[in-house]
Amino acid sequence: MTDSLREKDFLELIVIDRNYCKELCFELNHYGVNHSTVFPNLDGLSAHVNWISEHINYWAERQKDEESDKFRAVAQVWREVAEQFRQENESLRNKIDGLSEEVKEEAFAKADSLEIDLDFSDEKPILSIGDAVHKLPQLPAGDNKEKG
């Protein structure tokens, strides 16, 4: 790896004590480096809210009561938002299921009301489905002649 460095470049190895890793995550979060800022999508936001919820005791111990109440309130708001999204998603799913059932029933009703007729009186059979009329290809004649 050092082969690709130029003379003015340098590479520094920083070793973080295993016991300090958890504290470092909280400090980085304090400066705005967390899942929701590194991964700015719903997954990142969800991971950050879960992280805050899991470590709420840390906030209570380390922060003033006022600040920990703020974090609790933020976590509660996100829980409510998540629940609202879940309910709206369920409502939409139910509407889609209802519409799907209506369309299905409508299609069956239309299919049941169609009149189907097959007429062999002409040279070519005629198939009638509702208002649509289709002439079918002539069916091959069977060999009914007696051989003599």
The 10 Å Cβ neighbour count of residue 33 is 13
Instruction: Let me know if residue 123 belongs to a domain.
Output: yes
Instruction: Let me know if residue 126 belongs to a domain.
Output: yes
Task: Please give the pLDDT value at position 37.
Answer: 92
Tens-digit pLDDT profile for residues 72-91: 888 899 889 988 988 998 99
Give the residue with greater pLDDT, 97 vs 138.
97
Instruction: Let me know if residue 9 belongs to a domain.
Output: no
Give the residue with greater pLDDT, 146 vs 7.
7
Q: Which stretch of 10-19, 23-32, 61-70 has the lowest confidence by average pLDDT?
A: 61-70
Give the residue with greater pLDDT, 68 vs 112.
112
Instruction: Let me know if residue 148 belongs to a domain.
Output: no
What range does the domain containing 85 cover? Answer: 17-135
Task: Please give the pLDDT value at position 60.
Answer: 63
Q: Which stretch of 44-48, 66-70, 122-126, 142-146 has the lowest confidence by average pLDDT?
A: 142-146
Task: Please give the pLDDT value at position 147.
Answer: 43
Task: Please give the pLDDT value at position 113.
Answer: 82
Taking 50 as the threshold, does the pLDDT of residue 144 lie above it?
Answer: no
Instruction: Let me know if residue 28 belongs to a domain.
Output: yes
Instruction: Let me know if residue 4 belongs to a domain.
Output: no
Instruction: Let me know if residue 122 belongs to a domain.
Output: yes
Domain count, the chain: 1
Kindly report whether the global pTM for this prediction surpasses the value 0.85: no
